[in-house]
């Protein structure tokens, strides 16, 4: 399969006027570069560049003879700079509040330029990755055939910004910051009905705690084992920066200037990125955009449904691939 490759983008100018040199990793799977249509997969908050293969976080979608078929496409996935995937201290970003999703999008384009890629068949991503896909298409509205943002939005809502603030406060003040922040976040990714269906008020006598408590603590401990505090602070912070410069006017102008076919996919019960946000974006763009569609995943599981309801998602995506 793929191997982890490194790339450096030097002296990139940040919104605060400072410059930063980004070191990050990426993986290429499927067909050799420049021999087939290229699909860029942007990972979600706790994801990484390993999208396919035995340990691939999206291997229900990306693989040989899967919907995004590696027999037919070249798939590239970048690690969001500072996500700490390769465990190198030099790749972490200390001043995390200086980074935005637009900065990540700019750096991804610079990396693609370095690989001599100026056109993409598709950019696809769920959650934070989908937001970065939006930002990338805003920057180069003629360079992408298909934009596929899933369970996401092109602009952070007040609800999301508020939750990111609480996460940041936990990460900076808790004695076990990653574990506590992750437990809170898990409740944002699911719904009350989803958890009720999963646990039904079950109690684990051997642990002297409710099953939901056991599950939340497990997820907290698991993430603590694979994430550094600095990386998690950055990834959480990025959520509140989504679409900071986006206005109704800029969206309409983008719609008039882009040839990209936009395929929005929402989750009907998502309250991290609500379906109403996606519907609003589509309504704004549909009079100005040559091609935009809206589809829904039906699920009681909320935001995480884009990873859980893979059969529904595969069926929605098959016509595009």
List, by residue number, the catalytic residues: 127, 270, 303
Can you list the alpha helix ranges (DSSP code H) found in the chain?
Answer: 101-114, 128-139, 158-173, 177-189, 192-199, 211-226, 229-240, 248-257, 275-285, 305-308, 310-317
274-312: b (≥16 Cβ within 10 Å) or e = bbebbebbbebbeeebeebebebbebbbbbbbbbbbbeb
Task: Show the tokens assigned to 182.
Answer: 């992750």
DSSP H helices, 41-157, are: 101-114, 128-139
Look at residues 36, 257, 41 and name the one whose alpha carbon lies nearest to residue 142: 257
Taking the C-alpha atoms of residue 23 and residue 240, their distance in angstroms, rounded to an integer, is 23
CB of 142 within 8 A of CB of 259? yes
Give the bridge partners for 69, in sequence order: 63
Task: Give the Cα separation of 84 and 64 in Å (integer).
Answer: 28
Name the residue with tokens 């600095």. 230
């Amino acid at each position: 399969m793929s191997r982890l490759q490194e790339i450096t983008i030097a002296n990139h100018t940040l919104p605060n006027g400072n410059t930063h040199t980004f070191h990050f990793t990426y993986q290429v799977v499927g067909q050799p570069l420049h021999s087939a249509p290229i699909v860029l997969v942007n990972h979600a908050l706790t994801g990484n560049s390993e999208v396919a293969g035995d340990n691939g976080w999206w291997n229900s979608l990306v693989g040989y003879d899967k919907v995004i078929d590696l027999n037919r496409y070249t798939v590239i996935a970048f690690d969001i700079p500072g996500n700490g995937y390769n465990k190198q201290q030099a790749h972490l970003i200390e001043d995390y509040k200086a980074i935005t999703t637009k900065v990540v999008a700019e750096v991804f384009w610079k990396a693609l330029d370095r690989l001599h890629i100026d056109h993409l068949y598709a950019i696809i991503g769920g959650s934070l990755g989908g937001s970065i896909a939006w930002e990338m298409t805003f920057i180069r509205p003629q360079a992408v055939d298909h934009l596929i943002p899933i369970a996401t939005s092109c602009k952070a809502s007040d609800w999301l910004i508020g939750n990111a603030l609480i996460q940041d406060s936990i990460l900076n003040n808790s004695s076990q910051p990653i574990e506590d922040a992750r437990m809170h976040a898990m409740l944002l990714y699911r719904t009350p009905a989803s958890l009720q269906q999963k646990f039904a008020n079950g109690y684990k006598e051997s642990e002297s705690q409710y099953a939901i408590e056991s599950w939340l603590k497990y997820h907290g401990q698991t993430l603590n084992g694979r994430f550094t505090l600095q990386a998690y602070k950055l990834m959480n912070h990025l959520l509140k920066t989504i679409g900071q410069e986006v206005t109704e006017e800029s969206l309409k102008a983008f719609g008039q200037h882009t040839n990209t076919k936009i395929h929005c996919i929402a989750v009907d019960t998502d309250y991290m990125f609500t379906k109403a946000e996606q519907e609003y974006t589509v309504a704004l763009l549909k009079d100005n955009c040559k091609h935009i569609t809206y589809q829904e995943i039906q699920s009681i599981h909320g935001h995480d449904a884009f990873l859980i309801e893979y059969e529904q998602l595969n069926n929605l995506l098959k016509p595009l691939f």
